[in-house]
């Protein structure tokens, strides 16, 4: 009996002290207006660029988020770059620690999920000839969260060549 009373007291205090973390009765998919996006750290080596992005729940209720976002590259005139092709991948290297990938996660208020954009700043070779036709100067990215038709805009300046690959959303890995 004592442990039940202690648990009820702890639960009541927790709800009172941390009301913004209460779970919505019927969580739905996160809407674009409820989210924010920001670039995280970037790394580059041997012509490969990896840029991580965080998508955060900026509301006071939990919602679902997961899977792959949709991406669209824009030039400096805010026009879509139709030849900047994005491909979905699960990671850049087979030995890389694989993040937990699921169709959806319950994203609590203030929490975030990440994804990686993997590109190259070097033109590929077609035989012995450098093919610069696949290189584009990107000024911004439109990021459409899963199950949304509205995009978030993030500044992303740089030259990218060949394919742009990106990962599904995953929960942050401690120590990354």
Pairing type for strands 70-74 and 135-144 reads antiparallel
Cβ 56 vs Cβ 111: under 8 Å? yes
Instruction: Supply the pLDDT for residue 13.
Output: 36
For residues 118 and 140, give the distance between their C-alpha atoms in angstroms, rounded to a whole number. 15
Cβ 67 vs Cβ 168: under 8 Å? yes
146 to 64, 102, 110: CA distances (angstroms): 10, 13, 18
Reduced to 3 states (helix: H, G, I; strand: E, B; else coil), residue 176 is: coil
Q: Is the pLDDT of residue 4 over 60?
A: no
pLDDT, one tens digit per residue, over 68-85 is 999 999 988 999 987 777
Please compute the mean of the pLDDT values over residues 27-44 and round it to a whole number.
Answer: 92
Reduced to 3 states (helix: H, G, I; strand: E, B; else coil), residue 87 is: strand
pLDDT band for 6, please (50, 70, 90 cuts).
very low
Nearest Cα residue to 172 out of 124, 130, 110: 110
Domains and CATH numbers, the chain: 24-166 (2.60.40)
């Amino acid at each position: 009996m004592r442990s039940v009373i202690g648990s009820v007291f702890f639960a009541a205090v927790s709800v009172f002290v941390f009301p913004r973390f209460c779970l919505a009765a019927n969580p739905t998919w996160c809407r674009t207006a409820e989210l924010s996006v920001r670039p995280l750290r970037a790394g580059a080596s041997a012509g490969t660029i990896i840029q991580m992005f965080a998508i955060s729940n900026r509301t006071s209720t939990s919602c679902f988020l997961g899977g792959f976002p949709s991406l669209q590259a824009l030039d400096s005139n805010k026009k879509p770059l139709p030849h900047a092709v994005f491909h979905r991948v699960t990671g850049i290297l087979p030995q890389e620690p694989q993040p937990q990938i699921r169709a959806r996660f319950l994203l609590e208020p203030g929490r975030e999920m990440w994804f990686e954009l993997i590109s190259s700043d070097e033109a590929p070779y077609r035989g012995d000839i450098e093919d610069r036709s696949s290189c584009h100067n990107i000024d911004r990215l439109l990021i459409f969260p899963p199950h949304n038709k509205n995009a978030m805009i993030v500044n992303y300046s740089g030259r990218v060549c060949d394919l742009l690959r990106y990962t599904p959303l995953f929960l942050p890995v401690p120590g990354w």
